[in-house]
A and B are shown apart, each in its own frame.
Chain A
Amino acid sequence: MSLLEVRDLSISFSTSHGLFRAVNGVNLTIERGEIFGLVGETGCGKTVTGLALMGLISSTGRVTASRLSLDGLNLLSTRNWQNVRGRRISMIFQDPAACLNPTFTIGQQLSHVIRYHFHLDSAATHHRAVELLNDVGLSDAAHTLRTYPHQLSGGMQQRVMIALALASGAELLIADEPTTALDVTIQSQILRLLKSLRDKHTLTIILITHDLGVVAHTCDRVAVLYAGSVAETSSTVDLFRNPKHPYTQGLLGAMPRHGTRGKPLLAIEGSLPSGINPSVGCPFAARCPLVMKICRTDNPTLTPTENAHAIACHLY
């Protein structure tokens, strides 16, 4: 059985301008122990998808799905999210500086979480905290426990965030752009750390990012999100070797890389459709270079092809 199964997940927000559809019928299946990439441009619904899995969508939002199950546990009927959050699923965010409470020391924050979830005495709590910090590669744990978040560098802050996420013993970690705010050199360290945690602790990770480069080097499987729905999903290798959806192709073509100098990049013209009054048909139709008549009227469904590769496009 897959660890996480998401079927027809839709998330909408009531806003002053009307109902905003952030996510429209997303399907995901995540296997135990894999690193699953969720890529897409700003506003395509990556973060809210993650939040929805933890029941953290704000009160103005509405989450619907036909199935939302975590290792057999039906999250849709969950009353007590307290047993899911932290214990089963944890989440870390893009901006570690903003995600650590500035007024408590790292030690205090870690021990709150450990003590709440495991009811340990203070010595055991401390011991566990040190262990966690060592796990995430912070060697001088005793000192780190006594510092306040602002006294740490961005990379260290993100490591602490990861430690906090692991402290509650979750099996699924949702990492929402954990490296976007960091330098490339630090980014590679953090990504390495995530991989090693997956290997050592059989952690399952959903890695949310907008950087295809990160996906290419870190993830086992990937889903490309466009305007709140999955455009294409497959194994990472397959996606990069053989991108099928015009949007995925566009994204790859838009990335400058060695050898693109002097040549124009393949820019996807236009911008994201509005989530408030989405047009009928394929959300990408307005920007698609290969648009057909049917694209403007029918919204394609995610259709599996060979190699567990699925594409939501009328071309396939």
Chain B
Amino acid sequence: MKVFTRWFGFRFAPDSIPAHLRRDPLAVVSSLIIMIMILSAIFAPLLTSRAAEGLGEPNPSEKLAPPSAAHIFGADHLGRDLYARVLFGGRTALGMGFLIVFGAVLIGAPLGAIAGYFGGWLDEVIMRVTDVALAFPPLLLAIAIASALGPNLTNAAIAIALTWWPWYTRIVRAQALALRERPFIEAAHVIGVGNFTIIARHILPNVLSPVIVQATLDLGSAILTAAALSFLGLGVQPPTPDWGQMVSTGRIYFPQRWWYVTFPGTAIFIATMAFNLLGDSVQDANK
């Protein structure tokens, strides 16, 4: 469902995106947050003394312990330290996010390039397929795919990627279509450069930047959608730590044991927000 941000139009980037971003305080802040999240996901074991709990080892005696010095975020229903869980959950969230977006780009972008560049019946076929793919309610489709394939991390990522690729096809196709008409492509043709060299040298580098913009925006949505799937029990499976899964389990303890949903919920929010902010800035810069 979180797919609409991709409707903003794209133009060719006149200036370097990083330079623009440096001047946007929100972009700086969000990049910092993302860096911190990535680093803390990578170095999670070093940031907590309860790494085992973070990875899933139960500690029943501490069940639902409220936040305290020992558990700054409190403990979950199996007594695991929520701080450690949230920390390790970042690995899953970021991993899922990248996997989904990467998967969607991998399927969508080449199809879009082919459709846009070659045009004709190939374009027609590919675009009708994406029309159909878009007509499916995305979350419904993701749920169906995830429940058909069996719930786990990769399947959830595949399920979501399978509902997202058409957007990349559209973006890349629109770009390729516009590029195809550009004089520099015609110039390459006149020189006698072959089709695939043209795609590789002249089309792809120019398509990349809108795709990167879109991907940045989508990372936030990917994390959110993955969380929604996990919330339904179709995402990452316990004891693997996952924010959506934590909120889903913690929900029944709300509001008396507020900490259980609050910390992972906030983590999802912050991660999504950071990527969305960055994506938004990148998009602005790209205009």
Contacts and interface: CB of A to CB of B under 8 A. Distances in A.
Interface string A10-50: 00000010000000000000000000000000000000000
A291 B19 CA distance: 38
Contacts, number: 4
A16 B15 CA distance: 10
Interface residues of B, number: 4
B23 interface: yes
B189 interface: no
B116 to A, nearest CB: 25
Interface in B1-40: 15, 19-20, 23
A16 B23 CA distance: 9
B285 to A, nearest CB: 10
Secondary structure of the A contact surface, majority rule: loop
Contacts of A16: 15, 19-20, 23
Contacts of B23: 16
A16 B16 CA distance: 11
Nearest to B20: A16
B265 to A, nearest CB: 38
Nearest to B23: A16
Interface residues of A, number: 1
A16 B17 CA distance: 12
A15 to B, nearest CB: 10
Contacts of B20: 16
A14 B144 CA distance: 53
B241 to A, nearest CB: 42
Contacts of B19: 16
A186 to B, nearest CB: 25
A212 B284 CA distance: 39
Contacts of B15: 16
A124 B40 CA distance: 72
Nearest to B22: A16
A16 B285 CA distance: 12
B24 to A, nearest CB: 11
A150 B184 CA distance: 27
B28 to A, nearest CB: 15
B254 to A, nearest CB: 47
A273 B19 CA distance: 24
A16 B19 CA distance: 9
B14 to A, nearest CB: 11
A16 B20 CA distance: 8
A16 B284 CA distance: 14
Interface in B59-102: none
A6 B15 CA distance: 35
B42 to A, nearest CB: 34
Interface in B179-199: none
A311 B100 CA distance: 66
A193 B23 CA distance: 49
A58 B210 CA distance: 27
B25 to A, nearest CB: 15
Nearest to B19: A16
B9 to A, nearest CB: 16
Nearest to B15: A16
A16 B18 CA distance: 12
Interface string A238-257: 00000000000000000000
A197 to B, nearest CB: 37
A87 to B, nearest CB: 34
Interface in B118-162: none
B229 to A, nearest CB: 41
A129 B31 CA distance: 55
A223 to B, nearest CB: 31
A58 to B, nearest CB: 15
Interface string B239-281: 0000000000000000000000000000000000000000000
Interface string A178-213: 000000000000000000000000000000000000
4 contacts: A16-B15, A16-B19, A16-B20, A16-B23
Interface of B: 15, 19-20, 23
In the complex, the 4 A-B pairs of residues with the closest C-beta atoms, listed nearest first: A16-B23, A16-B19, A16-B20, A16-B15
